[in-house]
Amino acid sequence: MLPSTNGVHTKPMIQISYECILRERLRESKSYLYEVACSISHMTASAHLSIRVTGEHTYRNAAPREIAFTRSEAGATTYIELLEGEQLEVRIVEIEDGYCKVLYSARGQELSEQSSREVLSTIQRIDARSEQE
């Protein structure tokens, strides 16, 4: 399933960068919006990629949202918006060799990895205030 270099298999690499934005709504508690950039590399050209968002909020729980992505020779990239309590799942499927996946969760202003299978993953939080200074 995984691409190889000189016979040595490498795991797909998923790089996540995100910014957490406070959203205040009338008569409701504060919530957060997570603006996420996702880059996937070391993925074979024949792999099927599925990126989806699931959530615990009733109005979004009906069906997971499939996320569109841009594919390139190096892998794939996408931009995703998550709400507090939602999860991001990235799954890479090869017909002959199975699949690998990683699941991220957005909670308490942090996006964190919940589980992974055969994937290397990095997460970087972007602080908008420090970029503006």
The model carries a pTM of 0.79
Contact 123/112 with Cβ under 8 angstroms?
Answer: yes
Q: Exposed, middle or buried, 50 (CB in 10 Å: 0-12/13-18/19+)?
A: middle
Please report, in tens digits, the pLDDT of each residue of the chain (133 residues total).
Answer: 444 445 555 788 999 999 998 876 666 667 788 999 999 998 887 888 999 998 765 455 556 788 889 988 878 999 998 888 889 999 998 877 789 999 999 988 899 999 999 999 999 999 865 444 4
